[in-house]
C-alpha cells in the first residue's frame, strides 16, 4: 500500500513537471532562481555580509522609504515595507544589524520593474534595520529605521 502511494505521488509530480521540462524552462541541474550567496547570508556581522556583496559604501537617500513599526511587540514577526524611487534600481538589500546573520534579503529587479518589497523579518532584539538600493550605475544608497523589540525574536 505504501509503495503504491509513493508511486502515485511520484507519477503525479512527473506529470505536472513534464510540460516545464519539455518547454526548456526546467532543465535538470539548472536552477531557475539566482544562485544563493552563502558567504554573504551566513556572515556574522553587517560589514562582512555587505563586503561579500561588494557594497563598501552607501550614500544616505530620502528616495528609499522604509516603513516599519517603531515598536514591534513580537520580534519573531516584524513586517517591513520598502519603496525605492531611485531610477534604475537593480537590487534591494535588507540588513538587520544585531541579528546573528544580519543579511536578511537580496531582491533583484530587471528592466522597469518597480523596486518594492514587503517582508517579514525575525529580529533578535532592538536594532537598526537598513535598506540598501543598488542602481544600474553601480552606486549604493541606504536608509535606516530603528525598531524596538519588546518580546524575544531570534533568541526566543
Q: Do 75 and 124 touch, CB atoms closer than 8 A?
A: yes
- For the stretch 12-50, what's the b/e string if a residue is b when 16 or more beta carbons lie within 10 angstroms of its beta carbon? eeeeeeeeeeeeeeeeeeeeeeeeeeeebbebeebeebb
Three-state SS for 6? helix
Which pairs count as long-range contacts for 33-40, CB under 8 Å and 24+ apart, including other chains? 34/108, 37/106, 40/103, 40/106
**Residue of 35 and 113 predicted with greater confidence:** 113
Looking at residue 120, what is its pLDDT? 95
The domains of the chain are located at 1-31, 38-149
Q: What fold characterizes domain 38-149?
A: Immunoglobulin-like (2.60.40)
- Read off the pLDDT band of 14 (50, 70, 90): low
Lowest-pLDDT range of 7-21, 86-100, 124-138, 139-153: 7-21
pLDDT in tens, 49-77: 999 999 989 999 999 999 999 999 889 99
Q: Do 93 and 108 touch, CB atoms closer than 8 A?
A: no
- Read off the pLDDT band of 22 (50, 70, 90): low
Looking at residue 29, what is its pLDDT? 53
- Is 25 a residue whose pLDDT tops 90? no
Looking at residue 37, what is its pLDDT? 85
Looking at residue 84, what is its pLDDT? 97
Grid cell digits, residue 94: 535588507
Looking at residue 112, what is its pLDDT? 85
pLDDT in tens, 134-153: 999 999 999 999 999 987 55
What's the CA angle centered on 72, arms 80 and 109, to 5 degrees? 10
Q: How much is the mean pLDDT over the chain?
A: 84
Amino acid at each position: 500500500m505504501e509503495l503504491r502511494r509513493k508511486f502515485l505521488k511520484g507519477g503525479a509530480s512527473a506529470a505536472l513537471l513534464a510540460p516545464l521540462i519539455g518547454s526548456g524552462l526546467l532543465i535538470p541541474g539548472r536552477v531557475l532562481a539566482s544562485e544563493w550567496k552563502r558567504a554573504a547570508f551566513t556572515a556574522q556581522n553587517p560589514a562582512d555580509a555587505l563586503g561579500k556583496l561588494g557594497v563598501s559604501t552607501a550614500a544616505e537617500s530620502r528616495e528609499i522609504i522604509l516603513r516599519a513599526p517603531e515598536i514591534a511587540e513580537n520580534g519573531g514577526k516584524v513586517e517591513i515595507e520598502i519603496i525605492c524611487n531611485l531610477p534604475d534600481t537593480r537590487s534591494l538589500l535588507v540588513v538587520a544589524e544585531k541579528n546573528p546573520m544580519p543579511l536578511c534579503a537580496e531582491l533583484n529587479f530587471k528592466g522597469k520593474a518597480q523596486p518594492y518589497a514587503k517582508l517579514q523579518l525575525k529580529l533578535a532584539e532592538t536594532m537598526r534595520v537598513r535598506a540598501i538600493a543598488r542602481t544600474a550605475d553601480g552606486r549604493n544608497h541606504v536608509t535606516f529605521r530603528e525598531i524596538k523589540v519588546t518580546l524575544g525574536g531570534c533568541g526566543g
